[in-house]
Amino acid sequence: MKITVYLGSHEGSDPFLKEAVKELGVWIAENNHILVYGGSKIGLMGELIITSDLQDRKRKMIELGDAFIAFPGGTGTLDEITEIMTKVALKQINTPCIVYNLNGYYDSLKVLLDHMIEMGLSTSDKQEKIYFANNLSEI
C-alpha cells in the first residue's frame, strides 16, 4: 500500500511528535508499504519525483496514495488534508483519510466536522472515510 503522509515543515514543541513520526515510518517499512511524501529534501525511499509547483506536487501525492495520514502541522498540512476530506466527501477517491490526533491536536477539527453535520451542512455519509486516530495502533 502507498501511504501518503502529510506533516508540518517545523518540528513543533511536542517532543512526542518526532517519535510518532519515526514510529509510523518504521511501521510503514516493516509492513512493506511505500511512503509518499512531499518535501524539499531528497529521501531514502523510492525515486524522487520533481514537480513544477505546489499544486502539481499535491496532485501527484494524491494520485500515488492508497491511504492518507495527516500528522499535526500548520496551514499547509491543514490545506492538504482538507483537500483529501473534500475528495472523500465527493466520492472522487475511495481511500481512508486519517487525521493523526496526537495529544488531541485535532480535537477542534473533529468538533468542527461534527458541528457541520449537526448544522445540516455535511452528512455522516460524506465523512464516513475520515478517521481520527490518537496513536499508531488506531491507525
- Dump pLDDT digits (tens) for 128-139: 999 999 999 999
CA distance 46 to 43: 8
pLDDT at 48: 73
| pLDDT 10s digits, 53-63 | 888 889 999 99
pTM: 0.89
Percentage of the chain modeled with pLDDT above 70: 95
DSSP string covering 68-111, please?
Answer: EEE-S--HHHHHHHHHHHHHHHTTS--S-EEEE-GGGTTHHHHH
Q: Are 97 and 129 in contact (CB under 8 A)?
A: yes
At 43 the pLDDT is: 46
Matching residue, cell 509547483: 53
Q: Is 114 in contact with 79 (CB distance < 8 Å)?
A: no
State yes or no: pLDDT of 5 exceeds 70: yes
Report CA torsion sign: 62, 73, 110, 133.
Answer: positive
Q: What pLDDT score does 45 carry?
A: 45
**Quick one: average pLDDT of 8-37?**
91
Question: Is a pLDDT exceeding 50 seen at residue 44?
Answer: no
Sheet of strand 34-36, all strands in order from the earlier edge strand to the far edge: 34-36, 2-6, 67-70, 97-100, 130-133
Cα separation, 30 vs 124, in Å, equals 34
